[in-house]
Amino acid sequence: MQHVVITGGSSGIGEAFARLHLARGDRVSLIARDAERLAACKERLAASGGTLSAHSADVRDAAALEAAIAAAESEFGPTARLITSAGVAVPGYFEALDADSFRQQMDINFHGTVHAVRAVYRGMTQRRSGEILLVSSAAAFVGLFGYTAYGASKFAVAGFAESLRAEARRHGIKVAVCFPPDTETPQLEAENRLKPPETAKITKTGGIMTAEQLATSVVREFERGKFAIYPGLRVSLLGRFSSLARPAINHWLDRTAERADR
């Protein structure tokens, strides 16, 4: 039994990670911004049993997030595993995305990830143990039409994970990063309503997973010791070969976008 802290835990991927860990007997702490959605999620998860707590905090607020995680640790003990699944995607043409949209996605997806890691990192280094699983995106492999803001934030998460892994290993801390494809969540429903036609056409080719499938696949690979986790065949191929095949991939992406119905 371990204490698992999950940011973005009020729905979707975060809720699926929580459900999986509760079924295994772990103590789970959910962190999310929306107190009402968080309470509803806690009620859904509590119905199936398990040791669960919920703490409301916005990952963009480093002090509030640190306080929420400290409260969780006072209840369930030190964080053994942190999963950073808080995220937002607002696609759109670059010229239509204002500075606030870029700032929001970078603040939540990247800075929110860093804030969560910082809140548990000192304790993990002192104990010389701990696990950190960061959630990036398949959109971090290549630049996708319509994702100038979102893609940049998820590229940043992947780069952060690379450097963090190199540093954390000397403290006995395990770091990994996963790259989900489109996943059936409330977030994806909201995102789909905003996608330009070109983006919708491109992302349809990437496949889709349920949140439960994703969580099961990611945790399995994480516990096998993988650093970069590519859920699903399409994402696996893209993750392993995108750097080698980038000219061909970009050509295909451009042609696909050109054929989209506006």
Active site residues: 136, 150, 154
What letter represents residue 24's amino acid? R
**Of 128, 105, 106, 131, nearest in space to 117 by CA:** 131
> Which residues share a beta bridge with 44?
none
| Contact criterion met (CB below 8 Å) for 40 and 117 | no
- 89 three-class SS: coil
| Contact criterion met (CB below 8 Å) for 68 and 92 | no
- Angle formed by the axes of helices 62-76 and 112-127, to 10°? 40
Question: 24 φ, ψ to 5°?
Answer: -90, 0
Scanning the chain, the segments in alpha helix (DSSP H) are 12-23, 35-46, 62-76, 99-105, 112-127, 148-168, 186-192, 197-204, 211-223, 233-241, 246-258
| 129, two tokens | 């143990």
Q: CA 139 to CA 64: how far, in whole Å?
A: 29
Query: In the block, which residue shows the tokens 């209840």?
Result: 75
CB-based burial of residue 233 (10 Å sphere; 0-12 exposed, 13-18 middle, 19+ buried)?
exposed
